[in-house]
Amino acid sequence: MRKVKVGGSVIAAMVVAWGGTVLAQNPAASPPGQEPAQEQAAKLMTHGELAQLLVRKLGLYRFLAANPTDVECMILLAQNGVFPSPTLTPTEQNPTPGWSLDPSKEVSLADLAVILVRSLRLEGQVQGDRADPQNWLNVLKDVQVPTDTIGAGVAALAPLGDALQALPLFQVTPEPLARRYVPESTAAGLINTIAFPDVATPRPPPPPAGPPPRPVTPT
């Protein structure tokens, strides 16, 4: 009996040691809140990375040229109603409200909540103060869209059924990230000027200088 107990203790010790080794090698078995550093890093994403991911997930990539820049993705998303700002709307002066081109700017929970709600076309269900991110999170909670990770939230999206191809023209400057936005109202005139520089715009004939002469009647 004593030998059995000693053997059992040895076996138990071996099992505990083996289990500890597996726990160290298996990230999924790590205690909650103690994820490995690489797993925690995988949960983070910059605005540019998320914009690149969204244009594919929402079916907008077909409207872009090959290898689009982050700003091109952001503008196309904003023109299709997908942007992080809870209150601002796209304008000629600010075509991507809420999006950031800072390569170190990571997507916050508030950014993710607004983007997911807009991507799901549920912004009309936001109750109360739209500037409060919690009200956007409540909409996602009601439709059971997860927000614990960016990947889980984006996985719940589907291609937009009302996608618009409205990518504006750019006025290119030496630095790619400093490209200036050209308002769509002037885009047609710019195209005509570039494509047909020698064709003058037709103008109506000038009006007559004075009243027409009175007809001469025989006396």
- Sketch the domain layout of the chain as residue ranges: 14-42, 44-163
| 177-217 confidence digits (pLDDT tens) | 544 444 444 444 444 444 444 544 455 666 666 666 676 66
**Section 63-79 average pLDDT:** 93
Identify which has the larger pLDDT, 26 or 94: 94
What pLDDT was estimated at residue 92?
86
Sequence-ordered alpha helix ranges (H) in the chain? 2-25, 37-42, 47-57, 70-79, 109-119, 133-142, 150-155, 187-195
Lowest mean pLDDT among 8-22, 96-110, 116-130: 8-22
What pLDDT was estimated at residue 202?
54
| 13-57 confidence digits (pLDDT tens) | 333 333 443 333 344 444 444 444 433 444 689 999 999 999 999
**Section 104-124 average pLDDT:** 96
Lowest mean pLDDT among 61-70, 134-143, 155-164, 205-214: 205-214
Confidence class for position 163, pLDDT limits 50, 70, 90: confident
Report d(CA 59, CA 164) in Å as an integer.
10
How high is the mean pLDDT of the chain?
Answer: 74
What pLDDT was estimated at residue 218?
66
Intra-chain end-to-end CA distance of the chain, in Å: 152
Burial of 51 (0-12, 13-18, 19+ CB in 10 A): buried
Lowest mean pLDDT among 74-78, 131-135, 178-182, 208-212: 178-182
Reported in sequence order, the residue ranges of 17-56 that DSSP labels E, i.e. its strands, are none
Lowest mean pLDDT among 77-91, 109-123, 160-174, 184-198: 184-198
What pLDDT was estimated at residue 43?
61
**Section 123-152 average pLDDT:** 96
Report d(CA 144, CA 107) in Å as an integer.
20
